[in-house]
Amino acid sequence: MDQTPRSAILIVNALSRQGKEQFDTACAALKTAGIELIEAIAIDKPGTLVDRVEAAVAKKPPMLIVGGGDGSLSCSVDSLVGTDIVFGILPLGTANSFARTLGIPLDLDGAVNVIANGEERRVDVGMIDDDYYCNCAAIGLSTKIGDRIPPMLKKTLGRLGYLMWASYQSLKFKGFRLTVTIDGKSETLKVVEVRIANGPYHGGVELVDDADPQSGEIVVQAVVGNSPTQLGWSWFASWLRLKSRKDTTREFHGREIRIETQPPQKISIDGEVLAKTPVTAKVARAAVLVMAPAAS
């Protein structure tokens, strides 16, 4: 018997890279695939997404479909934690790291097919203190990129725009000291970036191989060094899947990890700068029900 929900509320962040252009197409594709849309909402005012998601969840639909980038998904997941509402994902952002982690196709038709014909899967979500997130939080150059990138550069050039802005920001970037504490044991090291990962992808690149949203653990990966050049090499080696990529990082695994930096650093949570060190990173085990590709 098919258990997949056949009705849903759709919320699309029209401010995301593809959101406005794809809204009508997404509505039509979902209906063609047999998904009845109880409501279809395009968010075009900044700062209103969370309220609209909360209102939708309060109506207890069988499924809530959110279209947007990683930031949109991360803003939505807080309302879904602990419910039986199925989370459907339309990757309409720039990096779409959480969709990549789940194996959801990045094209609209492929993503709709997963929503209509995939399987339900319970997955972990990360936590920075009490804030839930889907895929990856970051400290370092990534934060400066996400905090200050001109919106039009991000929207028009996508990942290339991120790369250009990263190159500019790296010219004035300095490393910092990271202290990680697990079960009362602490270690301090000099780093240029920290990834607090629930999934392997960050910025659309597979960087944290061992992070898995069904593992019950959070992974803190530190890129060691003091120079932006070392961070650039780490990204390049990871992009090409070189064995040497492992030499550029240190990893810490656990269900709860205390993170401190000197000096204090802002934290980008799924692309949105929302916190500052010190924080406690945790995993919320099997907290959200998502539509994922059916097992082959």
pLDDT interval class at 233 (50, 70, 90): confident
What pLDDT shows up at residue 21? 86
Low-confidence winner among 63-72, 123-132, 237-246, 261-270 (lowest mean pLDDT) = 237-246
Fold category of 132-285 in CATH: Tumour Suppressor Smad4 (2.60.200)
Which tens digit of pLDDT belongs to each residue from 112-171?
Answer: 999 999 999 999 999 999 999 999 999 987 676 655 555 665 556 555 665 665 666 566
Superfamily of domain 7-124+288-292: Probable inorganic polyphosphate/atp-NAD kinase; domain 1 (3.40.50.10330)
Residues 6+ apart with CB under 8 A from 278: 258, 259, 260, 261, 264
What pLDDT shows up at residue 19? 75
Cα–Cα dist 119/252, whole Å: 31
Sketch the domain layout of the chain as residue ranges. Answer: 7-124+288-292, 132-285
What pLDDT shows up at residue 290? 98
Among 183, 182, 200, smallest CA distance to 249 is for 200
Q: How many residues does the chain have?
A: 296
What pLDDT shows up at residue 239? 86
Whole-structure pTM over 0.85, yes or no? Answer: yes
